[in-house]
Amino acid sequence: MSRPLRQLASLAGCALAFLPCSIALASETVAPLPESDYTTRAACQAPAFGEAACMTVQLIPITAEARRRNHPLGIAHRAVRRSSAPTPAGGFLGLRPQDLHAAYSLPVSATSEQTIALVDAYNDPTAQADLKTYDEEFGLPACTTANKCFTQISQTGSETELPFPKTTAELKAASKGSTSERKEAKGAIGWGTEISLDVQSAHAICESCRIVLVEASNPANANLAAAERRAEAVGANEISNSWGSPEELVGSSEREAFNHPKTVITASAGDDGYRDWASGEGEFTSFPASYPDVVAVGGTRLKTLGIGGAWQGETVWNGDGASGGGCSTLFTAQPWQQEAADWASVGCGANRAVNDVSADADPYTGIVIRDSDSPGKECQEEYEESGTLHTIPEWCTYGGTSLASPIIASVFALAGGAGEVAYPAQTLYRSLSAAPAGLHDVTVGSNGFCGSTFDQETGLSTCSEGTEAAASCSSTFACLAAPGYDGPSGVGTPDGVSGFIPGAVTSASATTSQPSSETPTPAPTPAPVAPTPVAVPVVTIQLRGLGLTTSALIALARHPVTSKVGFSFTLNMPVTVRMMLARRVRSHGHLRWVTIGHATTIAASVGHNIKRLAGSRHLPTGLYRLTATPRGGGPRTIFFHIG
């Protein structure tokens, strides 16, 4: 299921569209998820060019049977008949605060005063009311404006002049207004869901933390950057960003908004897999997660929690959605990342690898959230009592790396913040080598490409992790989980707070930040330490800038189009490149990629290359995927529409 980040320009609008331009008991059982009874949906609509997308994914029960079951996966319940209405506090709609604390062995309060800022777009007029209901449901300490625990401000710092919609009445009116008003209202509703997830999950993890919600006027990258600066200006110790945009489409001034030494800045890596292969909009690594100065947060799937909510394991999230990540094409990895023992097997060379750390993100093991402005009625839990069908409205199950980012920001808060470490991701890598007991090592799974649909009963990928990794990252640890550091899960997930406490830096080269670079240069690579029996070679051949030629883009605006498609790319060394064109078709109710003709191998030179595919057959309307794989290097893919 694709949740596209439509950040790339349309063919008609930009000729460079495809170029960078609970208590558990021993008698517990788990209710299975029946086939086709659940689906997921991105909370936010596809953003316009120059905007970011939020990364919240909703689990939706789509049948009456599903609505009567205990869901999602992740919590074990006693095998007894319900004698009363199922409630969020009973764990029937998703993970609760106590489940997250038990799974990750976390305290409920920080040892010092900490302020967590959450940067989002639009205004959520019910944010405080929903938080109040959430706190009352789970018995959490009140967090309100009255006790100065909760603050809601605009990107300019105002507590009174907030973005659209200022009231629920204004939102409802816009939802029935003109086309543009309805579109804006839809956007605000989606981001309102994001805000509910951010605020409530942060308070669920750190009950003593102050929360500042900073609302950008809209999801434009420039406004989100302004909100980021405001979050720093109000003195936040941690800033969480549950949204992202293709790194090539974010300007340098906007990037600098995320360079704040001694502040923990976390960013969601995305919900569409390694370099967003499932988005259907071409390959890219998400910003701000790709920025070397932030803590990039990937997503996992929690195994069913054991007795007392104990952690039983995690895998990389891949199935009905997948953890984002990938090698940056713009930024150089910080020294502490390159000093990871198995860095040579990651396959990013000297480039920044996303992620640094991870946490639960799969909506099938998601958290229950109160959202009184939630879209539609899909999340209303139903139960039958004395022959009467009842509903529990406005409580929904959510996941996505939008959940993982505030979790990690809040764990940093519990640990005391950044301390004297300029860029706190460094603390995680120090802990990986010096205090690994503070981290759960995620060693299973991949966020790589799967060409078949996910298992509808479990929400899991139907491809093996080896197949996924071979398709996306040449079987390197850039998209394949392994002991120690790997791209999909980073250094792992929290196991208490010890892995997040600033400590003595053990490497002289890691005492200062390496400046971000938009033209990564080769750097000495540590000797490989192979965590698996099969040695993985370091990928040194790089293919960049894969895109259609101008003439091909013009031809796409007309019809018919032949298979002799023109494309261009840049290589760092001469090598043969294997080209493959595929079209997405529906077969037996599933979407699949079907290869057009045969793969073509071409000889390419150093630098810029312009080539054409062979053949002259007419291509029907549809979505196409063009993949280029240099010999000895990783594949690059673009997507384009005909018709």
pLDDT per residue over 221-231, tens digit each?
999 999 999 99
Mean pLDDT rounded to a whole number for the chain: 83
* 439 in Cβ contact with 432 (< 8 Å): yes
Distance between CA atoms of residues 149 and 163, nearest Å: 21
State the Cα–Cα distance between residues 179 and 146, nearest whole angstrom: 38
According to the model, what pLDDT value does residue 149 have?
A: 98
The reported pLDDT for the residue numbered 74 is 62
Q: Give the tens place of pLDDT for each residue, 137-191.
A: 999 999 999 999 999 999 999 999 999 999 999 999 999 999 999 999 999 999 9
pLDDT of residue 515: 42
- pLDDT reading at 507 higher than 80: no
**Structure-token pair, residue 108:** 């409920």
Q: Which residue has the higher pLDDT, 81 or 503?
A: 503
pLDDT classification of 539: cutoffs 50, 70, 90: very low
- HEC readout, 34-85: CCCCEEEEECCCCCCCCECEECCEEEEECCHHHHCCCCCCCCCEECCCCCCC
Q: Which residue has the higher pLDDT, 541 or 219?
A: 219
| Residue pLDDT, tens place only, 438-456 | 999 999 999 999 988 788 7
Q: Tell me the pLDDT tens digit for each residue of 365-391.
A: 999 999 988 655 556 666 666 666 667
Give the percent of the chain with pLDDT over 90.
56
Report helix, strand or coil for 118: strand
Which of 76-80, 224-228, 334-338 has the lowest average pLDDT?
A: 76-80
Query: Do 496 and 414 form a contact (C-beta atoms < 8 A)?
Result: no
- What average pLDDT does the segment 189-215 reach? 97
Highest mean pLDDT among 48-52, 180-184, 506-510, 566-570: 180-184
Between helices 179-205 and 97-104, what is the axis angle to 10°?
A: 50
For residue 33, pLDDT over 60 is answered with no
180 versus 31: the higher-pLDDT residue is: 180
3-class SS of residue 301: strand
HSE at residue 148, side-chain half, CA atoms within 13 A, is: 2
The more confidently predicted of residues 531 and 283 is 283
| Start-end of H helices in 474-574 | 550-556
478 dihedral zone (left: phi>0; alpha: psi -120 to 50; beta): alpha
DSSP H helical ranges for 289-437: 335-338, 401-414, 425-434
Mean pLDDT over residues 48-76, rounded? 75
* Separation of alpha carbons 400 and 198, rounded Å: 11
Does the structure show a pLDDT above 50 at 258?
A: yes
Pairing verdict, β 493-494 and 439-440:
antiparallel
